[in-house]
Structure 1
């Protein structure tokens, strides 16, 4: 005969209820595991996939190594921009801000999952000369099931702010890119200005020698000699000042690249300024292209969408929520232990909050209007920047071509004036005026080349298209 252990009806019901609760908890965990596929525990929501890459220069689909050239190696425009993008603190700061926003997207996604908390306690109780050990442990599962879209709105806010952060990073990268190019061409212009000043100083010295020769042979006057001496001293002073400007420009260039200002820099020969018609398109079409590409406008649009989602979040925050709670509990007191478990739902009904929700919604609507106004302002600013950059490039192109003619004419005039003076048929004022005009023509030629390179990059920045492709086309020419 088989004997079954006796089980009281109350114990049987308790056992059945506990078994039912365990099945419910197991079912909840199974649903949760089905919703979450295999993931990396360090990044379960794969926020690395939406995190932008660290700023670096890419030319012809090739990522540059971001290495400081050797001490004796010259710095070209590519090396300057490469170091600026990966070493400049500005790009690192904005990239880190984008990573923070990517983590905020993960936080918003985490709100859709339940929380599981464990708690354990051990103590000794003494009362009326009696003492006993008390121990307890519990697990609590909490899951917000329904909140009228508050979590979804919060996630949309985080995603739009992530998009804005990515666009802001792109805008900052292009700004640093442009600043690096400006610093490089300013340094090159300063170096060329020193070379032009040296040439002017040599020419002034030659004029002084000619004046001294004529003075010694009796065909020149002391006034001619003194005027030539003054012009030579002035040319020397101009050269000294130009050398100071050159050193300061090198320090600013080093600073843009994230280096110390006293870092020795040897610059490579600059690329030739050869005007083309690449950007000479219809300005209206350029403005339309810029409004599609400019990262600042994309960031402003994303911030507006985030503000619009904030209205939904403010409304949902004042509505009821439905939550699920469950968990087992164990407790022992004086050697007597007991097990318990619970499962249930909770409805939170915010009946009155002092009109908090009303004004939260009103504030969210006002923030949305502010974001829309900022977006429209950026849209107008983009058109203005394209127009100004386009006009500046056209002016720089014409100036560059004219400055070449001016320099050639000034060189010829200086040679004729000096030759006439040496031959005894000219006067020193003609020579000094011609040399002064030549010095100005040299500086204008240097400045024209600088303005053309910078204007070309500025228009690319205004279009939102300043990247390694511009440097690739510069090197190929």
Structure 2
């Protein structure tokens, strides 16, 4: 670095150089707009893309595709295997895992504040000052003074006592880490529940396709019977037309059922977290035995469930963390005691024109104890304390809201399960009666004793009864899973549908 002190044209020239450099730097910043869209209605394309399209398309980047999950093509998966696949591949579990790790690191960062801080510093430099001085002949001569040196040092600073502020921060960080860990397990529970729901819905869609297939076969049998009666002279063209209409309706229902099955399959694949293009087979649970009817849980069961639900535990940890932050805000009003030390050396050289250089080497060490007493900060600490108290009050209200919501979910899930089981029982009776009605109506029509209208009504009633039974069966399985989830019992792929009461 060279500092030259002159007046007049030389000083003006130096200022012009500084202004030119500043102008060049400003121009570089302003030129950054070249990488942005030129107008709100103009497409953006990279600057170095000759022949870029004029539309709003973007260049493809294969690296953005990522790597898909390792799924075997046409492999068969049951519910437990799908849950295991979801826990390994669904992005939600990784997000929750990273948040838990971040919270754990935050605890370590606070604990590190209890230790001293040691820093090494080196300050070195060189300065040359040229000063015009008058000589005896009436002119001027340049007096050049050069100073150079280095100043290395080690500095230690240790906060010895702060009236519990760091302990409060550590407690808050630990509670935040606990909440993150509990939420991580809660994320897995929610994922298990989501996959279970989607699994039962897909199985219902698969069952609906089978029922549509059966209805299509029945309609074709009715059509064959109508054509046979037409040939032997006991039937009419109207009956054949009605039979054809029944078969066409059954075919349409089959197409619609298949479309619903494909949608349910994509919902299941999405819940698992694998590629929508994955082709796997799913084990059916259409004949799975349903749980027994469940009464409204008792207060003891609800309290037990609340004590283990991740959302309740995370809310409770948030309350404790807020209380710890309150204590830290209070401690900010109290003094702090520091211990500091320094070990330094100083190496300096001084030279004027052609005179011999003068060097100075020195060293210093010291230990100091200091007290910092906050006196005035414009109300910042008071505002922080008020905010901490407000956050504690909000956390308590949030905990109470979470408890009430969880209790309501348990009661509603229990009622839904009981209603679904009753609906399944009624639908089973309806199916049995509809089957007898259809068999009787079809036999009577085939033997010339009934009408095509009776067969059509009976066939429609049988299909509706079978579908109602399948719907009730799936609804009961979903309701059982909902009750298990609301009770905090859906903790693994092998967890029971309903926690024992």
Q: Give the TM-score band, short-chain normalised.
A: 0.7 to 0.9
Aligned residue in 1 for 2:97? 95
CA contact (8 A) 1:286 1:386 kept: no
Mapped contact 2:484–2:496 kept (Cα < 8 A):
no
Cα RMSD, aligned residues only = 2.1
**Aligned counterparts of 1:266 and 1:469: Cα–Cα separation in 2:** 18
Shift of 1:72: 3.3
Deviation at 1:344, TM superposition (A): 0.5
Tell me the CA shift for residue 188 of structure 1: 1.1
Would you identify which runs of 4 or more consecutive aligned residues in structure 1 move more than 6 Å? none
Per-residue CA deviation, residues 442-470 of structure 1 (Å, 9 max, x unaligned), is: 21122122112211111111001102264
TM alignment of 1:393-412, pairs within 5 A: 393-412=417-436
Please give the per-residue CA displacement for 1:47-71, whole angstroms capped at 9, x wherever unaligned.
xxxxxxxxxxxxxxxxxxxx84532
- What SS does structure 2 have at the residue aligned with 1:129? strand
Structure 2, gaps ≥5 residues long: 1-68, 130-142, 350-358
Contact 1:414 / 1:435 at 8 angstroms: preserved in 2?
Answer: yes
Partners in 2 of 1:104 and 1:198 — Cα distance? 59
| Cα deviations by residue, 1:109-162 (Å, 9 ceiling, x for unpaired) | 111111111011332333443435411211111101111111111111111111
**1:313 and 2:328 equivalent?**
yes
Paired with 1:89 and 1:118, the residues of 2 have a C-alpha distance of 43
Is there any run of 5+ residues in structure 1 with no aligned partner, and where? 1-66
Q: 1:278 to 1:230 in 2, by over 3 A?
A: closer
Query: What pairs up with 1:362-401 in 2 under 5 angstroms?
Result: 362-401=386-425
Equivalences, count: 409
SS at match of 1:293: coil
Partner of 1:254: 269
Residues 250 and 265 in structure 1, CA contact (< 8 A), matched pair in contact too: no
Provide the residue aligned with 1:418 in structure 2.
442
Out of 203, 206, 212, the position equivalent to 1:197 is: 212
What SS class does the counterpart of residue 468 from structure 1 fall into? coil
The normalised TM-score by structure 1 is 0.82
CA deviation map 1:388-422 (0-9, x unaligned) = 11111112222233333322222222111111100
What is the deviation of 1:281?
7.0
SS, match of residue 468 in structure 2: helix
- Aligned residue number for residue 16 of structure 2: none
Match of 2:260 in 1: 245
Partner of 1:154: 169
- Aligned match of 1:122: 124
Verify: 1:177 aligned to 2:192, yes or no: yes
d(CA) in 2 for partners of 1:434 and 1:338? 109
Match of 1:464 in 2: 488
Contact preservation (8 Å) 2:293, 2:421:
no
Q: Give yes or no for contact 1:125–1:134 (8 Å, CA) kept in 2.
A: no
DSSP 3-state at the match of 2:114: coil
Task: Say if 1:320 and 1:348, in contact at 8 Å, map to a contact too.
Answer: yes
**Residue 399 of structure 1: SS of its match in structure 2?**
helix
In the superposition, the TM-score normalised over structure 2's length comes to: 0.78
1:351-394 CA deviation, whole Å, 9 max, x = no partner?
11222222221221111111111100111111100001111111
Distance 1:291 1:471 in 2: 18
> How far does residue 280 in structure 1 lie from its aligned partner after superposition?
5.1
- After TM superposition, the structure 1 = structure 2 runs for residues 46-57 of structure 1, keeping only pairs within 5 Å, are none
Q: 1:312 to 1:456 in 2, by over 3 A?
A: same
Task: Give the C-alpha shift of residue 77 in structure 1.
Answer: 0.3
Greater C-alpha radius of gyration: 2
